[in-house]
Amino acid sequence: MERSIHKSQSHIHGGFLIPGYPLVGNTFQVLNNPSKTFMDWCTKYKHNTFVIHLGSIPVVIVNSRKDIEYIWSHHPTSLNSRPALHTFHHLISATQGPTIGTTPAGASFRRKRKFLSLCLSAQSLSTENYVSAIEKCSEYVIGNLLTLSESAHVPFPDVSLLRDFQCYVLRCAIMLTYGICLDTQGKDNFLADKIIQTENHIINFRSYISNYQDYLPILRLCPFSNFFQSEARIWKSERDEYINYFQSEFEKGLQNNNLSQSDSILAKILSQRSNAKTLTHQEARSICLTMISAGLDNLGYTMNYIIGQFSSSRRGYRMQEKLFHELLAKSDNNIIQAWNDSVLKIDCDLALAIIQEALRNFSVLPLGLPRLKTKPLRLGNLTIPKDTVLFMNVFSANHDPQYFSSPNYFNPQRWLDEEGKLKGRDSVTHYTFGLGSRKCAGDQLSLREMYSLLCRIVLTFHIGKPRNKKWNMEPDAFRSNLNPAATSIEPKEFRISLRTRQSEGLDELHLFCGCKEKPQNKSH
């Protein structure tokens, strides 16, 4: 009976329908870790691509890499839009507009995407403004970690680095976007916490699955509407407050001819608007919002996962030691040069392999964001009509045993050839940044930020297990997930032990993180 009810509501022909319930469909079956649920259904029903129903809305779930590559890579123009969600687009984004990644296809999306892609191109990322921002922000993190101990020779207490990583991403974003330098451990501590908390809540309103009111319209009516909409309006107001604050501070700096503001992304937007008049005021706000929110949780959680892997076993310890020596070897055994090169160059293949493996194995956005078909498509016997919502099961694709041996095992070596060089994309790749026309425009910035901070942490510290076993990392992403209904995987808190390295030149690095003057290169 369930199947016949769904079939009468659905215009998707030839697809396997997952059994559900009248009116609500599969809603209550997919609330907790939906990505894992879909993987389990692949095994149970022997179908890699199938149709579920959220309310009466049919949604196509694509789990296998083969089908994902066919749909996302070979038909990018027919899958280049996003569904407009009641909660996120009409409530949360009513003032500032949606982020670029959540904007439906159209002229506005193309303008915003084109501008941000130019700002985050490889050429732009190599300019002094971007390099300086990453350099200052990574120094700030290391400096704050060093202050946790009265002496660099005293072991640190067990610590969680998640907030440090989130603040690192936030400081980079605000510095690049507005030219404003936040003191996230000092006077701007409360503001930073507020932004992190607000954006964490708002990203969950982007979830197509856990926000019932988006696909069960009855919940938008009184008395249900107040319950579902009040929280969204609260977080919208919180976001509006700090976005307006940054805009005001930016304008003050610009009036005072502050060089930091003049080199910022927002200054470039205003210049483009005055010269070419291509971006509206709301589109400018959308770009700034994208810079703040895009990697705040995702990059922070991924960096935290890497450090957790380093701390969880002897193998993790050997991995960080190997990385430390490779960084020195690439810099003539000069630790100051290695420190500087970690921002100026991205040429350590092992560091890149560790980052790529973390992006694959952790898959911080396990289900990705929904796509909307703008043209019909046929996949085998399945006919997907226009205006159909599709999900890429990123976690499933990143753990496909046909492409990755021991897919649940954290193994950076799978990204390296026999000579230790990074393999090309044709040999191995992941879909954490998406695929096709909607692939993340900030992937190269994210890689640079992670690379620089990872290298500098390894150059400065030994990372070990926590002294208290209750803070050990849970390596299974789904078991560790504190919020199974959330868009991102939000792992349980774990802590690590840090011990500063003892070798020639490190005292200068410690000084470097606490002063303005850069030490001169000194042989190791």
Q: Which residues are annotated as a binding site for heme?
A: 440
Report the SS3 class of residue 366: coil
- What's the Cα-to-Cα distance from 193 to each of 57, 137, 164, rounded to whole Å? 37, 17, 11
Q: How far, in Å, CA of 171 to CA of 240, rounded?
A: 18
Pinpoint the alpha helices (H) of 399-524.
443-460, 477-480, 506-512
> In 114-238, at which residue ranges do the beta strands (DSSP E only) sit?
none
User: What's 491's DSSP letter?
Assistant: B
User: What's 493's DSSP letter?
Assistant: P
**Cross-strand partners of 280:** none
User: How many residues in the chain?
Assistant: 524
- Please list, in sequence order, all residues whose beta carbon lies within 8 angstroms of the beta carbon of residue 46, skipping any fewer than 6 positions away: none
End-to-end CA separation in angstroms for the chain: 74
- Give the amino acid at 76: P
Beta strand 371-372 with 389-392 is antiparallel
Question: What residues form the annotated binding site?
Answer: 440
Q: Are 283 and 112 in contact (CB under 8 A)?
A: yes
Q: How far, in Å, CA of 280 to CA of 111, rounded?
A: 10
DSSP characters over 142-157: HHHHHTTSSSTTSPPP
